């Protein structure tokens, strides 16, 4: 039994399960926004299915990224200790994990509604396609943001079966929020990426200018949330959440400088996870109350 748990834990580590906090809170915003706008009683069924969709999609995307980048990860000192480079998880096992999660994602999307089912392969192409973008464009950070931005609009469609402007504003915010913090994270690998001819904003612009662009992206992220607050059915709790979210984004940039990347993990993992969860809690509370 202990060995089985260890094996499961390896896959959780492979896909960094706790990083689901980056997309799940915004998926919940899209879901509860749909409940609010349709007047529908909160459905535990839809709630669980959306959570599973986020989980399966992210497992697919993250595992595929590790699968596609195996040779790169082997050569990068920062990533050479991951599960696949160390052969803790084989390529065959990783591929099976990818296929299983992709099929589970499509099946779960089908249980929500027919539109979600037909859009599920498109979503998989987006989240898996990101893995190849850094080979040909410095805009790979925006592609990563696009993958995570499918969460709020996807959750909204899960209930309503149609598109709308308001959840798209949350999706646009996620695009620039994720791209902004991914630029910061990529600053760790500038020398390696240059040696491997991989593309990134820090490689293209240098660390100082990349950090300035990251700030611009985060201003755009906050801006889209501000517009959403103006046109959406929100009250004081929404704006309180906005205040906390904005403060944590600003603090993230105080922690990191081109000459000091020692606190990148704190800025990347901890603060962004906290920001998304707290903001989502305020928004959902506002929608429910």
Measured CA to CA, the distance from residue 34 to residue 194 in angstroms comes to 45
Beta bridge mates, 260: 257
- The total of structural domains in the chain comes to 1
Among left, alpha and beta (phi > 0; psi -120 to 50; other), residue 16 is: left
Beta bridge mates, 257: 260
In this predicted structure, what is the pLDDT of residue 272? 87
In this predicted structure, what is the pLDDT of residue 13? 66
* Of 204, 75, 30, 54, residue with least CA distance to 123: 54
Structure-token match 């991989």, residue found: 198
Measured CA to CA, the distance from residue 261 to residue 186 in angstroms comes to 10
pLDDT mean values, one per 10 residues, the chain (289 residues): 55 67 91 92 91 94 93 92 89 93 97 96 96 95 95 95 95 96 92 95 95 96 97 96 95 85 75 91 95
Answer for the pair 154, 53: CB distance below 8 angstroms, yes or no. yes
* Of 160, 145, 115, 157, residue with least CA distance to 27: 157
User: pTM value?
Assistant: 0.93
Neighbouring CB atoms inside 10 A of 255's CB total: 17
Ramachandran angles phi, psi of 215, nearest 5°: -60, -45
In this predicted structure, what is the pLDDT of residue 1? 46
Domain span including residue 96: 2-288
In this predicted structure, what is the pLDDT of residue 10? 73
In this predicted structure, what is the pLDDT of residue 7? 61
Q: Which two tokens stand for residue 100?
A: 């299983």
Burial, 164: exposed, middle or buried (Cβ in 10 Å; 0-12, 13-18, 19+)? Answer: middle
User: Domain holding 180: CATH number?
Assistant: 1.10.357.140
In this predicted structure, what is the pLDDT of residue 2? 44
């Amino acid at each position: 039994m202990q060995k089985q748990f260890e094996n499961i834990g390896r896959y959780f580590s492979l896909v960094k399960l706790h990083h689901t906090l980056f997309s799940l809170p915004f998926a919940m915003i899209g879901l509860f926004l749909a409940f609010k706008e349709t007047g529908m009683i909160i459905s535990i069924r839809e709630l669980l299915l959306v959570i599973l969709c986020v989980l399966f999609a992210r497992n697919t995307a993250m595992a595929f990224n590790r699968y596609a980048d195996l040779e790169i990860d082997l050569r990068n000192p920062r990533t050479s200790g991951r599960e696949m480079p160390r052969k803790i998880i084989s390529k065959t096992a990783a591929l099976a994990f990818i296929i299983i999660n992709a099929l589970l994602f499509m099946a779960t999307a089908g249980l929500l509604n027919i539109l979600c089912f037909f859009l599920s392969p498109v979503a998989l192409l987006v989240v898996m396609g990101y893995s190849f973008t850094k080979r040909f464009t410095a805009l790979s950070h925006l592609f990563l943001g696009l993958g995570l931005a499918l969460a709020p609009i996807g959750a909204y469609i899960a209930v309503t079966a149609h598109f709308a402007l308001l959840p798209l504003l949350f999706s646009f915010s996620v695009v620039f929020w994720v791209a902004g913090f991914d630029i910061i994270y990529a600053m760790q690998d500038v020398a390696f990426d240059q040696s491997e001819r991989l593309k990134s904003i820090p490689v293209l612009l240098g660390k100082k200018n990349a950090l300035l662009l990251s700030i611009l992206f985060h201003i755009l992220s906050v801006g889209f949330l501000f517009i959403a607050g103006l046109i959406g059915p929100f009250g004081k709790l929404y704006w309180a959440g906005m205040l906390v979210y904005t403060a944590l984004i600003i603090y993230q940039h105080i922690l990191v400088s081109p000459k000091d990347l020692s606190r990148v993990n704190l800025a990347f993992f901890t603060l962004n996870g906290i920001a998304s969860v707290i903001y989502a809690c305020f928004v959902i509370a506002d929608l429910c109350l």
